[in-house]
Amino acid sequence: MLGHLNGGPKYTYIIWPGSDPSSTVGYRVPANDSFMQAAGSADAMTVEARLPGPDGETHLYTVGRPEPADGTTTLIPISDDRAVRVFSNEVFTADEAAVIFYTYYLTDAAAQPYVLRRLDLSHELSEER
């Protein structure tokens, strides 16, 4: 599914744990407020996850490679008129993101060795394209 993202009109993909894993309709009622989402295109996308933090509360994070960002940023489209800016180590192809999503599907956690950068939801996270 991640390979179908094209930067418009197919911008986003999201998964979350369902309340009843034995039911094919269990996905309609989330088990908790954890989820993983991607936005952008198959060639350049960002992956975000809402996961429990060390304080026990859930937070929204951007997933990145463990190497330090080189300071450059990329604008990833999330709708026809909005985009998010991410660091160079936070841009993935669909194949790379699929590994992160699959691990989340199996474990409800972000894949290792990826790192999480907590997003500050008190500030606007997107900008006009």
pLDDT digits (tens, 9 = 90+) for 10-43: 888 888 877 766 765 655 555 567 899 999 999 9
Q: Kindly report the length of the chain.
A: 129
Higher pLDDT, 120 or 4: 120
Q: What is the pTM of this model?
A: 0.86
Give 50-83 pLDDT, tens digit per residue: 998 889 899 999 999 998 778 889 999 999 999 9
